[in-house]
Amino acid sequence: GTAAGQLNEPVGLAVHSDGRLFVADTWNRRIQVFNGFGQYMTSWVINGWSGDQGNRPYLAIDEDRGQLYVTDPDAARVLVYDLNGVLLGSFGQPGSVEGGLNAAQFNVIGGIAINGDGQVFIADAGAARLLRFEPWDAIAVSAPQEPDAVLEPLATEEVTEEVTAEV
C-alpha cells in the first residue's frame, strides 16, 4: 500500500541499537521508520529508485555520526541522510566495466555496510569488487549536495579485485 506504515516491496533494512527499524520502501520511493514494536514512526521521500533494472536499494546506519546510507543502485550512487531524513549529500556515479571504473564509479551496487570506525564498504556486484570509503563527515563538503551531485571519495579508498570467503 501507499499509506503511512504500508509498504510496496520493502527491501533494504537497517536496525538502530535503540530499536528503530529503517526500511527501504522501494516502489513508494521512501524510507519508513518503525519502532521496536513495529509501529510506524515517520518516513521521508527518496529522490531516486526511479529505474526498474531489477536492482534494489540497501541501507546501512552509522550510529556514531547519526547517518543513514541509502543506495540508489540504478543511479550508481549512495545518498547520505541524517536519521531524521535530512539529505546530507551523495557520492558515486555510473560507470561501465568495459570503459574502466575509478573508485568514484559504480557498476551495480549489490550491498553496503559500515564498520565500527564509520568506514563505508560498497559491494559493486557488476564489477566484482569491494570498495572502502571514509565516513561521510571525513569528506570535506562545504554545503549539502543535491541528490544528483557526485562526490569523489578520499584518496584512502581501497579497491580489491576479489574477496573469497572460506566455508
Q: Indicate the SS3 state at residue 125.
A: helix
pLDDT given at position 51: 65
CA nearest 3: which of 25, 36, 35?
A: 25
Q: Indicate the SS3 state at residue 13.
A: strand
pLDDT given at position 53: 64
Tens-of-pLDDT digits for all 167 residues of the chain? Answer: 999 999 999 999 999 999 999 999 988 999 999 999 999 999 999 987 776 665 689 999 999 999 999 999 888 899 999 999 999 998 888 888 877 788 788 988 999 999 999 999 999 988 889 999 999 876 534 333 333 333 444 333 343 333 333 33
pLDDT given at position 146: 39
pLDDT given at position 149: 37
Predicted model pTM? 0.81
pLDDT given at position 155: 36
CB 71 within 8 A of CB 126: no
C-alpha to C-alpha distance for 41 and 4, rounded to whole angstroms:
9
DSSP per-residue codes, 23-68? EEEGGGTEEEEE-TTS-EEEEEE-S-----SS----EEEETTTTEE
CA nearest 148: which of 87, 84, 95?
A: 87
